[in-house]
Amino acid sequence: MENRWAARRLTSRVQIMGRSEGDLFLSKDLWQVGNSARGLALALALAGMMLAAAPAGARREVVERIVARVNGNIVTQRQYDRELEKLRAELSQKSSGDELEKQVREQSRNLLRDLIDQDLMVQKAKDLDINVDTDVVKRLDEMRKGYGFATQEDLQTEVEKQGLIWEDFADNIKRQLLMREVIGREVGRTVIVSREDARIYFEQHKDQFAHAPGVHLAEILISNEKHPADAEKRANDALAEIKAGDRWEDVVKKYSDDTANPAAGDIGFMEQGTMNPVIAQALANVDAGETTGVIPTKQGYLILKVLEHRTAGPAKFDEVEEQVEETLYDQKMQPALRKYLQQLRKESYIYIASGFIDTGAEPFAGTGSTKAGQ
């Protein structure tokens, strides 16, 4: 099991780097966002949060004040300000007023650190001769299929409608994939979580893994955008086949437009109180193994199957082993990655302009200052 969670954790998100390309993909919350152009618009807005991190030479803008130099790359004031603007926009979705300003102050301390981290790892990928061009093509095609576009040109058109430059958008995905590969090769292989480690951690933190009440669901989604003329009819036909005794998996494969989820339409466990009220009402009297009727949503029509009802209570280790291992892996991964990035800084030339701080730099002994102009 030892490094069994590394690939999956690195693919989904590298927390120490802030927002990741993994955030572009919307999976089990399709009834809230939608497998549609509107859903893509949200994803592209999230993508814009990372575009500011691209090397200044790759962006079509006038070079302004240099905030930092990272070997041969520079971070400009405009890049930094854009990243700060995106951070504020993201935080404003959950906070406002004084609390928003507090969150912005706290989290903006690491903005320059994150930009430097990204440049260092992309440069390291070049040193390691890592090539992800094939993976970029695959990832873009996955996005095209996931959002229901017939061609790559259609996806590109939608990206550009959101005010983004297609080349920058694709380059950002490439940078994220390069960073993932560097972390996997240089750091992930050193982080080991044994089953015994996980069991000990579970025994010490049982409350953390207690079951929350909720329901495990699978879905069939019929998209209004993909079937503008007959989405409701397709949903009713799918429900009729289920009631006639056809296998759920077969009906999912035949009708569902949710390509982000497995063939059986499994969308995972939903905690009580977190679901859309319309969805919660439709599930109110549905037993395990049964399905709802057709549920109209903004994005299309849903049919949900209850795989399991779960009540609140303590969990057994075997039931949450994967979750425990992921939690422990994260705890070990973050300091290991930060240590690695500090080492990359020592091997690099990094200049920080006056008034800015790289919070990822190793502090001077006996002082609170950070190294600049290494």
- Look up residue 36 and give its amino acid: S
- Section 95-108 average pLDDT: 93
Q: Which residue has the tokens 């300091």?
A: 335
Give the three-class secondary structure for 61: coil
Cα–Cα distance measured from residue 342 to residue 360, given in angstroms and rounded to the nearest whole number? 7
- Look up residue 323 and give its amino acid: Q
> Where is pLDDT greater, at 325 or 273?
325
The answer to whether residue 39 scores a pLDDT higher than 70 is: no
CA dihedral (269, 273, 274, 279) positive or negative = positive
pTM assigned to the model: 0.65
At 143 the pLDDT is 87
Residue 296: pLDDT band (50, 70, 90) is: very high
From 197-201, 277-281, 368-372, the region with the lowest mean pLDDT: 368-372
For residues 212-237, one letter each, b for 16 or more C-beta atoms within 10 angstroms of the residue's C-beta and e for the rest, the string is eebbbbbbbbbbbbebeeebeebbbe
- Encode pLDDT of 201-230 as tens digits: 999 999 999 888 889 999 999 988 889 899
At 363 the pLDDT is 67
At 64 the pLDDT is 77
Residue range(s) in the chain whose domain bears CATH number 3.10.50.40: 211-310
The answer to whether residue 127 scores a pLDDT higher than 60 is: yes
Residue range(s) in the chain whose domain bears CATH number 1.10.4030.10: 19-188+343-352
Contact 358, 112 (CB under 8 A): yes
The answer to whether residue 117 scores a pLDDT higher than 70 is: yes
CA 203 and chain centroid, separation: 29
The answer to whether residue 37 scores a pLDDT higher than 50 is: no
Indicate the class that CATH gives domain 211-310. Answer: alpha beta
- Section 322-330 average pLDDT: 94
Residue 162: pLDDT band (50, 70, 90) is: confident
Residue 171 Cα distances to 122, 123, 164, angstroms:
11, 14, 12
Q: What is the mean pLDDT of the chain?
A: 81
The answer to whether residue 18 scores a pLDDT higher than 60 is: no
> Where is pLDDT greater, at 174 or 226?
174
The answer to whether residue 150 scores a pLDDT higher than 60 is: yes
The answer to whether residue 352 scores a pLDDT higher than 90 is: yes
CB atoms within 10 A of CB 201: 19
Fold for the domain defined by 19-188+343-352: Triger factor/SurA peptide-binding fold (1.10.4030)
The answer to whether residue 15 scores a pLDDT higher than 70 is: no
* Closest C-alpha to 300, from 25, 37, 24, 22: 37
Residue 244: pLDDT band (50, 70, 90) is: very high
- Look up residue 251 and give its amino acid: V
At 260 the pLDDT is 67
* Closest C-alpha to 149, from 36, 30, 256: 36
Instruction: Enter the tokens of residue 349.
Output: 């030339």
The answer to whether residue 77 scores a pLDDT higher than 80 is: yes
- Look up residue 254 and give its amino acid: K
At 11 the pLDDT is 38
The answer to whether residue 59 scores a pLDDT higher than 80 is: no
The answer to whether residue 236 scores a pLDDT higher than 50 is: yes
At 259 the pLDDT is 67
- Section 57-64 average pLDDT: 52
At 265 the pLDDT is 87
Cα–Cα distance measured from residue 103 to residue 208, given in angstroms and rounded to the nearest whole number? 25
Residues contacting 9, CB < 8 A, separation 6+: 188, 326, 329, 330, 333
From 54-58, 318-322, 346-350, the region with the lowest mean pLDDT: 54-58
**Helix or strand holding residue 184 (H, E):** helix 166-186
